Amino acid sequence: MDVHDLNLYRHFSSAEPCRKVFHDSGSIKAQVVCIKAGQALPPCSMDNEVLFYIISGAGEISADGRWTVVKPGQAVVVPREAKTRSIRAEQDMVILAVQAVK
Protein backbone atom coordinates (compact mmCIF):
# COMPACT_ATOMS: atom_id res chain seq x y z
CA MET A 1 0.00 0.00 0.00
CA ASP A 2 1.25 3.47 -0.89
CA VAL A 3 0.10 6.64 0.86
CA HIS A 4 0.62 9.99 -0.85
CA ASP A 5 0.12 13.49 0.53
CA LEU A 6 -1.30 15.19 -2.56
CA ASN A 7 -0.57 18.61 -1.08
CA LEU A 8 3.12 17.94 -1.76
CA TYR A 9 2.39 17.84 -5.51
CA ARG A 10 0.64 21.22 -5.77
CA HIS A 11 2.73 23.43 -8.01
CA PHE A 12 1.63 26.18 -10.35
CA SER A 13 3.54 27.78 -13.20
CA SER A 14 2.62 30.92 -15.07
CA ALA A 15 4.14 29.35 -18.20
CA GLU A 16 2.00 26.21 -18.45
CA PRO A 17 -0.12 23.72 -16.50
CA CYS A 18 1.88 21.42 -14.20
CA ARG A 19 1.46 17.66 -13.92
CA LYS A 20 3.07 15.44 -11.32
CA VAL A 21 2.69 11.67 -11.64
CA PHE A 22 2.83 10.10 -8.19
CA HIS A 23 1.78 6.54 -9.04
CA ASP A 24 2.22 4.42 -12.15
CA SER A 25 1.74 0.68 -11.68
CA GLY A 26 1.23 -0.13 -15.34
CA SER A 27 -2.52 -0.62 -14.85
CA ILE A 28 -3.26 2.65 -13.01
CA LYS A 29 -1.58 6.02 -13.48
CA ALA A 30 -2.37 8.80 -11.00
CA GLN A 31 -1.25 12.40 -11.13
CA VAL A 32 -1.96 15.83 -9.71
CA VAL A 33 -2.66 18.47 -12.34
CA CYS A 34 -2.40 22.17 -11.43
CA ILE A 35 -3.78 24.72 -13.89
CA LYS A 36 -3.69 28.46 -13.30
CA ALA A 37 -6.76 30.56 -14.11
CA GLY A 38 -6.83 31.25 -17.84
CA GLN A 39 -4.66 28.24 -18.73
CA ALA A 40 -5.87 25.11 -20.49
CA LEU A 41 -4.75 21.60 -21.28
CA PRO A 42 -5.10 21.39 -25.06
CA PRO A 43 -7.32 18.68 -26.52
CA CYS A 44 -5.58 15.32 -26.43
CA SER A 45 -6.56 11.79 -27.30
CA MET A 46 -5.79 8.63 -25.39
CA ASP A 47 -7.04 5.06 -25.17
CA ASN A 48 -7.58 5.16 -21.40
CA GLU A 49 -10.60 5.85 -19.23
CA VAL A 50 -9.83 8.81 -16.94
CA LEU A 51 -11.35 9.98 -13.68
CA PHE A 52 -10.83 13.66 -12.86
CA TYR A 53 -11.54 14.69 -9.25
CA ILE A 54 -11.62 18.45 -8.69
CA ILE A 55 -9.76 19.17 -5.45
CA SER A 56 -9.92 22.96 -5.69
CA GLY A 57 -10.68 25.72 -8.15
CA ALA A 58 -13.20 25.78 -10.96
CA GLY A 59 -13.31 25.46 -14.70
CA GLU A 60 -14.51 23.20 -17.47
CA ILE A 61 -13.70 19.73 -18.76
CA SER A 62 -14.57 18.59 -22.25
CA ALA A 63 -14.96 15.22 -23.92
CA ASP A 64 -15.31 15.31 -27.69
CA GLY A 65 -15.97 19.05 -27.57
CA ARG A 66 -18.83 18.84 -25.03
CA TRP A 67 -17.88 21.16 -22.15
CA THR A 68 -19.02 20.63 -18.55
CA VAL A 69 -18.56 23.14 -15.72
CA VAL A 70 -16.78 21.60 -12.71
CA LYS A 71 -16.12 22.71 -9.14
CA PRO A 72 -14.45 21.28 -6.01
CA GLY A 73 -15.76 17.93 -4.83
CA GLN A 74 -16.95 16.84 -8.26
CA ALA A 75 -15.63 13.87 -10.22
CA VAL A 76 -15.83 13.46 -13.97
CA VAL A 77 -15.23 10.15 -15.73
CA VAL A 78 -14.21 10.42 -19.38
CA PRO A 79 -14.67 7.08 -21.16
CA ARG A 80 -11.89 5.63 -23.29
CA GLU A 81 -14.20 5.95 -26.31
CA ALA A 82 -13.96 9.76 -26.17
CA LYS A 83 -11.77 10.91 -29.03
CA THR A 84 -10.52 14.07 -27.26
CA ARG A 85 -10.51 15.59 -23.80
CA SER A 86 -9.44 18.98 -22.51
CA ILE A 87 -9.52 21.13 -19.36
CA ARG A 88 -9.57 24.90 -18.94
CA ALA A 89 -9.38 26.77 -15.63
CA GLU A 90 -11.49 29.76 -14.65
CA GLN A 91 -9.89 29.74 -11.18
CA ASP A 92 -6.60 28.09 -10.21
CA MET A 93 -7.44 24.37 -10.29
CA VAL A 94 -5.93 21.35 -8.56
CA ILE A 95 -7.15 18.08 -10.05
CA LEU A 96 -6.52 14.43 -9.23
CA ALA A 97 -6.39 12.55 -12.54
CA VAL A 98 -6.48 8.74 -12.48
CA GLN A 99 -6.13 6.74 -15.70
CA ALA A 100 -7.12 3.10 -16.04
CA VAL A 101 -4.36 1.97 -18.38
CA LYS A 102 -5.29 -0.65 -20.97
7-48 per-position pLDDT tens digit: 999 999 999 999 999 999 999 999 999 999 999 999 988 889
CA dist 68 and 22 (Å) reads: 26
How much is the pTM? 0.93
- Residue range 6-100 in CATH 2.60.120.10: yes
Sign of CA dihedral 28, 29, 31, 37: negative
- Give the integer Cα–Cα distance in Å for 94 and 18: 10
Instruction: Tell me phi and psi for residue 46, to 5 degrees.
Output: -155, 165
50 in Cβ contact with 75 (< 8 Å): no
Q: Which residues contact 56 (CB under 8 A, 6 or more apart)?
A: 72, 92, 93, 94
